[in-house]
Amino acid sequence: MSRLLFLALALMLACASFALPSLFSYTGTTAQPTAAVVPVNQMQLAADWVNFDPAAYPLRAVYGLKDGWELGVGYTPQSALDAWNVGSKWQVPFAPFGAQTALGAVYFKINEQDLSVTQLYFVGSKPLIEAGEISPAISANLGVNWTQIDEDGDRDSEVREFASLELAFPNQLTLSGELQTRSSIDSESLWGVKATYPWTPTLTVEAGVVNGFTAGSDNVDFFLGLAYTFGQSAE
């Protein structure tokens, strides 16, 4: 597996769709944040299988520290390239066009290599359409991130825009899709599609495809996982 592809995996540990931990350790869609955060004193745990070669198993936890403030941590066992990350997100009192907005930061490190990633982001989320009897509620997310890769003392940074849509059906099935602009650190534009469904009030199953997590690659990988919530739903 390429280094950029693994990098994308590990950073995903810091994220959630409609407030489940995404493949990063912050609330978001597949690999992008939304402006939602975990409620105060709630803990969300998630684990996924990603069909890299060899397979990777991102583990992450997100906790609501205060109203509008969450902390996420993650660990990814994957052959000889184990990695960890930590991140935080804060909702901010800035509501253009009625959208909820948030600022966030993520730091990621591969244990066996002199490689780290720092990412800062700003994102806005807004409901667009309310749910009908059979039609889904639709929400949109729009944001920008600054990502710096530090490898053996050489630093490369880029600014990229991203957007995602979330469709929440009356039967509680949620679908999301996302796209991020391509930059010099991407082989392709980053994109992902995910479906989540609450098997029980506290246990959610998810499945999807993604071509990276912080950097888009030429490979498209399938993932399958579970998320467990202690407490109320995210907001």
Query: Residue 184 phi/psi, 5° resolution?
Result: -70, -20
Average pLDDT score over residue span 125-133: 92
Q: Given its phi and psi angles, is residue 8 left (phi above 0), alpha (psi -120 to 50 degrees) or beta?
A: alpha
Please state, for a pLDDT cut of 90, what percent of the chain lies above it: 56
Instruction: State the average pLDDT for the chain.
Output: 86
The amino acid present at 225, given as its one-letter code, is: G
**Which pLDDT tens digit goes with each residue over 135-161?**
999 999 999 999 998 888 788 899 999
In this prediction, residue 113 has a pLDDT band, given cuts at 50, 70 and 90, of confident
Average pLDDT score over residue span 124-128: 96
Domains of the chain: 3-230 (2.40.160.40)
Whose tokens are 């998810």? That residue is 206
What is the gyration radius of the CA atoms in the chain, in angstroms?
16
**Which pLDDT tens digit goes with each residue over 19-67?**
677 777 789 999 899 999 999 999 999 999 988 777 888 899 999 999 9
The amino acid present at 5, given as its one-letter code, is: L
In this prediction, residue 180 has a pLDDT band, given cuts at 50, 70 and 90, of very high
Identify the pLDDT of residue 161.
96
pTM: 0.86
Identify the pLDDT of residue 97.
87
Pick from 7, 6, 8: which is nearest to 180 by CA? 8
Helix/strand/coil (H, E, C) string of 82-103? CEEEEEEEEEECCCHHHCEEEE
Identify the pLDDT of residue 52.
77
Residue 165 corresponds to which tokens in the numbers above? 């849509």
In this prediction, residue 232 has a pLDDT band, given cuts at 50, 70 and 90, of low
